[in-house]
Structure 1
Amino acid sequence: MPFQFKKTVYQIAIFFVFALIFSGCKKHDEDSQPDKITSVKQQIAGEWELTGGVYIMYDETGKISYTEKLPFESPAPWYDFRNPETLYLSDRHGRQALAYKISITDNQTTRIDIAATSYDIDKTFDITAINDKNMTWVNDQRFDNPGPGFASRVYTEYNFTKR
């Protein structure tokens, strides 16, 4: 009987050790999100020029119905990320201060939410690539039951180069 008791205590102790290890790992992942957000904010700081990209519309059947290369305008817009919450957008409409927020989704996608401009609605972009010189944003909108003549999907990719 004492052997069975020691074996049971040993098994319970091992269970608690593994439970602590796994619960500690999950907590570590949650704590690392603010660190990742801070890192992205540091990488995004500075001036970025929109140097390329693509705008693609898909019809109700899923076929490409329209494509255009970015930037749409000349001179190309540029984005000045001066502090962690405000960016200054300079384009053909002038210069505007806009609020923005960096976030990390549950599936670890880095996102940037930009407030509405005076001529556009607010947008959410996935930051698909970022380094010291280049950055790529993607906005992939899908529409359920668009009907004939309407877009079922609009994919926009923005490529930036740091000034």
Structure 2
Amino acid sequence: AASRPAVSLPRTARAPLAHRPRSASSGRRPPPPRTMAPAELHIDLGPAESGAGGGVMRGLRSLMEKGEMCDLELVAAGQTFQAHMSVMAAASPVFHEMFVRLISGDAATTHPVVTLEEVTHPEAVRAMLDCIYHDPREDFSKPYSPSCEDANRDALRLSQRFQ
């Protein structure tokens, strides 16, 4: 009979003696494996380069301004504004609840039209969209200056209604 060649593992591949399982007949359990203590990890990516990545909100705002991939229309005082349901729902629990009902009801729709009857000045809707689609990396210090008190009241109504 031909003999089989012996196969041996290098020393580093063998389990250390302390961690080899003991015989089931000895009744002893093998010791638990050693674990390392948790360590904190700090990563500093440094400042982002100007224009690097463009920012998600900047991209969403650009899509909204171009009317691209919008799946929602807000209508106020005869003017229509395009927006994204997911962005509006993420910004407002009231919008979220409204859209969940609209897309899951019997008359489900994938492109709802929301008429804001209480708004008489469309600039209030524009101010709301500017706030929601604001890129936090950009300067938002431009003061809000409505054209009249009624537009300001509409903006306040929208902010209270949609929180």
Q: TM-score, normalised by structure 1?
A: 0.24
> TM-score scaled to structure 2, two decimals?
0.24
Task: Return the structure number with greater strand share.
Answer: 1
Q: Which has the higher contact order (CA 8 A, sep 6+)?
A: 1
Judging by fraction of residues, say which structure has more helix.
Answer: 2
Q: Which has the larger radius of gyration?
A: 2
